[in-house]
Protein backbone atom coordinates (compact mmCIF):
# COMPACT_ATOMS: atom_id res chain seq x y z
CA UNK A 1 0.00 0.00 0.00
CA UNK A 2 3.08 2.25 0.26
CA UNK A 3 3.56 2.21 -3.50
CA UNK A 4 2.75 5.69 -4.84
CA UNK A 5 -0.62 5.67 -6.59
CA UNK A 6 -1.55 2.25 -5.22
CA UNK A 7 -2.59 2.76 -1.61
CA UNK A 8 -5.57 1.27 0.16
CA UNK A 9 -7.71 1.89 -2.89
CA UNK A 10 -5.44 -0.25 -5.07
CA UNK A 11 -5.36 -3.00 -2.46
CA UNK A 12 -9.15 -3.01 -2.22
CA UNK A 13 -9.44 -3.22 -6.00
CA UNK A 14 -7.29 -6.34 -5.94
CA UNK A 15 -9.27 -7.81 -3.06
CA UNK A 16 -12.47 -7.32 -5.05
CA UNK A 17 -11.03 -8.96 -8.17
CA UNK A 18 -11.46 -12.51 -9.42
CA UNK A 19 -8.68 -13.68 -11.74
CA UNK A 20 -8.86 -16.74 -13.96
CA UNK A 21 -5.47 -18.37 -14.56
CA UNK A 22 -5.29 -20.88 -17.40
CA UNK A 23 -2.73 -23.52 -16.41
CA UNK A 24 -0.68 -23.51 -13.24
CA UNK A 25 2.66 -24.74 -14.59
CA UNK A 26 5.91 -22.92 -15.31
CA UNK A 27 4.14 -19.70 -16.27
CA UNK A 28 0.73 -19.98 -14.64
CA UNK A 29 2.11 -21.20 -11.29
CA UNK A 30 4.20 -18.10 -10.58
CA UNK A 31 1.36 -15.95 -11.95
CA UNK A 32 -1.06 -17.45 -9.41
CA UNK A 33 1.54 -17.21 -6.63
CA UNK A 34 2.21 -13.51 -7.18
CA UNK A 35 -1.48 -12.73 -7.53
CA UNK A 36 -1.96 -14.48 -4.18
CA UNK A 37 0.95 -12.48 -2.72
CA UNK A 38 -0.62 -9.26 -3.99
CA UNK A 39 -3.90 -10.09 -2.23
CA UNK A 40 -6.14 -10.88 -5.18
CA UNK A 41 -9.59 -11.71 -3.80
CA UNK A 42 -10.22 -14.90 -5.71
CA UNK A 43 -8.27 -17.17 -8.02
CA UNK A 44 -9.96 -19.53 -10.45
CA UNK A 45 -7.39 -22.03 -11.69
CA UNK A 46 -7.79 -24.44 -14.60
CA UNK A 47 -5.22 -27.15 -15.23
CA UNK A 48 -5.71 -30.83 -16.05
CA UNK A 49 -3.48 -33.86 -15.62
CA UNK A 50 -1.21 -35.39 -13.02
CA UNK A 51 2.21 -34.17 -11.92
CA UNK A 52 5.14 -35.62 -13.90
CA UNK A 53 8.83 -35.60 -12.92
CA UNK A 54 9.61 -33.44 -15.96
CA UNK A 55 7.28 -30.68 -14.62
CA UNK A 56 9.48 -30.03 -11.59
CA UNK A 57 12.14 -27.91 -13.32
CA UNK A 58 9.69 -25.00 -13.46
CA UNK A 59 6.31 -25.65 -11.80
CA UNK A 60 6.91 -23.90 -8.48
CA UNK A 61 3.48 -24.65 -6.98
CA UNK A 62 4.14 -28.39 -7.19
CA UNK A 63 5.88 -30.68 -4.70
CA UNK A 64 8.02 -33.75 -5.32
CA UNK A 65 5.83 -35.75 -2.97
CA UNK A 66 2.80 -35.10 -5.18
CA UNK A 67 4.12 -36.91 -8.27
CA UNK A 68 1.32 -38.81 -9.95
CA UNK A 69 -1.35 -36.71 -8.21
CA UNK A 70 -3.49 -34.02 -9.90
CA UNK A 71 -1.42 -30.88 -10.53
CA UNK A 72 -4.32 -28.65 -9.64
CA UNK A 73 -4.48 -30.10 -6.11
CA UNK A 74 -0.83 -29.22 -5.45
CA UNK A 75 -1.45 -25.75 -6.85
CA UNK A 76 -4.44 -25.20 -4.56
CA UNK A 77 -2.68 -26.52 -1.44
CA UNK A 78 0.44 -24.42 -2.00
CA UNK A 79 -1.53 -21.24 -2.66
CA UNK A 80 -3.88 -21.69 0.30
CA UNK A 81 -0.94 -22.43 2.64
CA UNK A 82 0.81 -19.33 1.31
CA UNK A 83 -2.20 -17.03 1.62
CA UNK A 84 -5.22 -18.43 3.49
CA UNK A 85 -7.08 -15.11 3.12
CA UNK A 86 -7.83 -15.57 -0.57
CA UNK A 87 -10.38 -17.85 -2.20
CA UNK A 88 -9.00 -20.48 -4.57
CA UNK A 89 -11.33 -22.36 -6.90
CA UNK A 90 -9.91 -25.12 -9.05
CA UNK A 91 -10.94 -26.98 -12.18
CA UNK A 92 -9.10 -30.23 -12.94
CA UNK A 93 -9.15 -29.59 -16.70
CA UNK A 94 -7.50 -27.31 -19.21
CA UNK A 95 -9.52 -24.61 -20.93
CA UNK A 96 -11.77 -26.27 -23.51
CA UNK A 97 -14.91 -25.65 -25.58
CA UNK A 98 -17.12 -26.88 -22.73
CA UNK A 99 -15.73 -24.78 -19.87
CA UNK A 100 -14.26 -21.63 -21.48
CA UNK A 101 -17.41 -19.50 -21.57
CA UNK A 102 -18.35 -20.12 -17.94
CA UNK A 103 -14.80 -19.76 -16.59
CA UNK A 104 -14.19 -16.48 -18.41
CA UNK A 105 -17.62 -15.31 -17.27
CA UNK A 106 -16.66 -15.96 -13.65
CA UNK A 107 -13.59 -13.68 -13.79
CA UNK A 108 -12.83 -9.96 -13.92
CA UNK A 109 -9.46 -10.53 -15.59
CA UNK A 110 -7.90 -13.52 -17.31
CA UNK A 111 -4.27 -14.67 -17.32
CA UNK A 112 -3.41 -17.04 -20.11
CA UNK A 113 -0.38 -19.26 -19.55
CA UNK A 114 -1.28 -22.21 -21.78
CA UNK A 115 1.39 -23.67 -24.08
CA UNK A 116 -1.11 -24.68 -26.76
CA UNK A 117 -2.47 -22.23 -29.28
CA UNK A 118 -5.93 -23.83 -29.34
CA UNK A 119 -6.38 -22.98 -25.64
CA UNK A 120 -4.97 -19.47 -26.10
CA UNK A 121 -7.24 -18.82 -29.09
CA UNK A 122 -10.27 -20.14 -27.21
CA UNK A 123 -9.60 -17.84 -24.23
CA UNK A 124 -9.01 -14.91 -26.58
CA UNK A 125 -12.34 -15.51 -28.36
CA UNK A 126 -14.22 -15.73 -25.06
CA UNK A 127 -12.49 -12.67 -23.59
CA UNK A 128 -13.28 -10.60 -26.69
CA UNK A 129 -16.89 -11.83 -26.72
CA UNK A 130 -17.36 -11.10 -22.99
CA UNK A 131 -15.21 -7.91 -23.06
CA UNK A 132 -12.82 -9.22 -20.40
CA UNK A 133 -9.19 -8.12 -20.17
CA UNK A 134 -6.69 -10.84 -21.02
CA UNK A 135 -3.00 -10.97 -20.17
CA UNK A 136 -1.41 -13.48 -22.54
CA UNK A 137 1.99 -14.81 -21.46
CA UNK A 138 4.13 -17.14 -23.55
CA UNK A 139 7.70 -18.37 -23.64
CA UNK A 140 10.09 -20.56 -25.57
CA UNK A 141 13.57 -21.54 -24.40
CA UNK A 142 15.28 -18.30 -23.28
CA UNK A 143 12.62 -15.95 -24.72
CA UNK A 144 9.21 -14.82 -23.62
CA UNK A 145 6.48 -12.33 -24.31
CA UNK A 146 3.51 -10.70 -22.62
CA UNK A 147 0.59 -9.05 -24.40
CA UNK A 148 -2.20 -7.19 -22.61
CA UNK A 149 -5.50 -7.41 -24.46
CA UNK A 150 -8.39 -5.09 -23.67
CA UNK A 151 -11.22 -5.74 -26.14
CA UNK A 152 -12.10 -2.56 -28.02
CA UNK A 153 -8.89 -0.81 -26.94
CA UNK A 154 -6.12 -3.08 -28.16
CA UNK A 155 -5.40 -5.75 -30.78
CA UNK A 156 -6.48 -9.24 -29.73
CA UNK A 157 -4.42 -12.41 -29.89
CA UNK A 158 -5.90 -13.29 -33.29
CA UNK A 159 -4.76 -9.91 -34.65
CA UNK A 160 -1.25 -11.00 -33.67
CA UNK A 161 -1.63 -14.64 -34.74
CA UNK A 162 -4.41 -15.08 -37.32
CA UNK A 163 -3.43 -18.77 -37.40
CA UNK A 164 -1.42 -21.14 -35.28
CA UNK A 165 2.26 -20.91 -36.28
CA UNK A 166 3.28 -23.94 -38.40
CA UNK A 167 5.05 -26.86 -36.72
CA UNK A 168 4.17 -25.63 -33.22
CA UNK A 169 5.09 -28.42 -30.82
CA UNK A 170 3.55 -28.87 -27.38
CA UNK A 171 6.91 -29.94 -26.01
CA UNK A 172 9.53 -27.18 -25.98
CA UNK A 173 12.50 -26.13 -23.87
CA UNK A 174 11.75 -24.24 -20.65
CA UNK A 175 14.07 -22.83 -18.03
CA UNK A 176 12.12 -22.21 -14.82
CA UNK A 177 13.83 -18.89 -14.12
CA UNK A 178 12.72 -17.62 -17.54
CA UNK A 179 9.12 -18.81 -17.18
CA UNK A 180 8.94 -17.23 -13.69
CA UNK A 181 10.33 -13.94 -15.04
CA UNK A 182 7.75 -13.79 -17.83
CA UNK A 183 5.01 -14.74 -15.35
CA UNK A 184 5.97 -11.92 -13.01
CA UNK A 185 5.87 -9.41 -15.86
CA UNK A 186 2.39 -10.66 -16.70
CA UNK A 187 1.29 -10.09 -13.09
CA UNK A 188 2.77 -6.57 -13.07
CA UNK A 189 0.82 -5.83 -16.25
CA UNK A 190 -2.38 -7.16 -14.73
CA UNK A 191 -1.94 -5.17 -11.52
CA UNK A 192 -1.20 -2.00 -13.53
CA UNK A 193 -4.35 -2.57 -15.56
CA UNK A 194 -6.52 -3.30 -12.51
CA UNK A 195 -5.28 -0.50 -10.27
CA UNK A 196 -4.15 2.18 -12.73
CA UNK A 197 -0.60 2.37 -11.39
CA UNK A 198 2.26 2.28 -13.90
CA UNK A 199 1.75 1.61 -17.58
CA UNK A 200 -0.16 -1.43 -18.81
CA UNK A 201 1.53 -1.07 -22.23
CA UNK A 202 -1.67 -1.40 -24.22
CA UNK A 203 -1.13 -2.16 -27.91
CA UNK A 204 2.39 -3.42 -27.30
CA UNK A 205 4.05 -6.78 -26.96
CA UNK A 206 6.65 -6.92 -24.21
CA UNK A 207 9.32 -9.23 -25.58
CA UNK A 208 12.31 -10.46 -23.60
CA UNK A 209 15.34 -12.40 -24.78
CA UNK A 210 17.10 -13.45 -21.60
CA UNK A 211 20.12 -14.90 -23.43
CA UNK A 212 21.07 -11.35 -24.44
CA UNK A 213 19.10 -9.68 -21.61
CA UNK A 214 17.24 -7.57 -24.15
CA UNK A 215 13.76 -6.20 -23.51
CA UNK A 216 11.75 -4.70 -26.34
CA UNK A 217 8.29 -3.19 -26.55
CA UNK A 218 6.87 -3.91 -29.98
CA UNK A 219 3.81 -2.01 -31.20
CA UNK A 220 1.05 -4.27 -32.49
CA UNK A 221 -1.97 -3.23 -34.55
CA UNK A 222 -5.57 -4.33 -34.79
CA UNK A 223 -6.35 -6.16 -38.02
CA UNK A 224 -9.40 -4.69 -39.68
CA UNK A 225 -10.22 -8.17 -40.98
CA UNK A 226 -9.58 -9.95 -37.64
CA UNK A 227 -11.93 -12.93 -37.41
CA UNK A 228 -12.30 -12.45 -33.63
CA UNK A 229 -12.38 -8.74 -32.78
CA UNK A 230 -13.43 -7.19 -36.12
CA UNK A 231 -16.96 -6.50 -34.84
CA UNK A 232 -15.84 -4.92 -31.54
CA UNK A 233 -16.12 -1.12 -31.83
CA UNK A 234 -12.97 0.80 -30.98
CA UNK A 235 -13.30 2.44 -27.57
CA UNK A 236 -11.57 5.69 -26.67
CA UNK A 237 -8.44 5.02 -24.58
Angle separating helix axes 28-38 and 176-195, nearest 10 degrees: 40
Continuous segment of H or E residues that includes residue 147: strand 143-149
CB of 102 to Zn ion, least distance (A): 23
Binding mask 111-150 for Zn ion (x = CB under 5 A): ----------------------------------------
Cβ atoms of residues 45 and 88 within 8 Å: yes
Stretch touching Zn ion by CB under 5 A, among 25-33, 48-56, 110-118, 222-230: 222-230
Cβ neighbors of 110 (< 8 A, separation 6 or more) are 19, 20, 21, 22, 104, 123, 127, 132, 133, 134, 135
Stretch touching Zn ion by CB under 5 A, among 25-33, 53-61, 93-101, 220-228: 220-228
CB of 159 to Zn ion, least distance (A): 4
Q: Is 156 in the site for Zn ion (CB under 5 A)?
A: yes
Under rule CB under 5 A, how many of the chain's residues touch Zn ion?
A: 6
Among 44, 75, 158, 185, binds Zn ion (CB under 5 A): 158
Alpha-helical regions (H) of 83-210:
100-105, 117-130, 157-160, 176-195
Among 32, 159, 183, 186, binds Zn ion (CB under 5 A): 159
CA 156 centroid distance within chain: 14
Q: Is 226 in the site for Zn ion (CB under 5 A)?
A: yes
Amino acid sequence: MDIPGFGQEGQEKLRNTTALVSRTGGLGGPIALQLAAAGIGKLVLAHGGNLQPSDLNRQVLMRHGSLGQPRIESARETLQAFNPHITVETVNANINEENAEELVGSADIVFDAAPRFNERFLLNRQCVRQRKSLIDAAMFSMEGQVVTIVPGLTPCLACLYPEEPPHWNRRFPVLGAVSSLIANIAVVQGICLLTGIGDAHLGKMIYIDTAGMNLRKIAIQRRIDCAVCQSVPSAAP
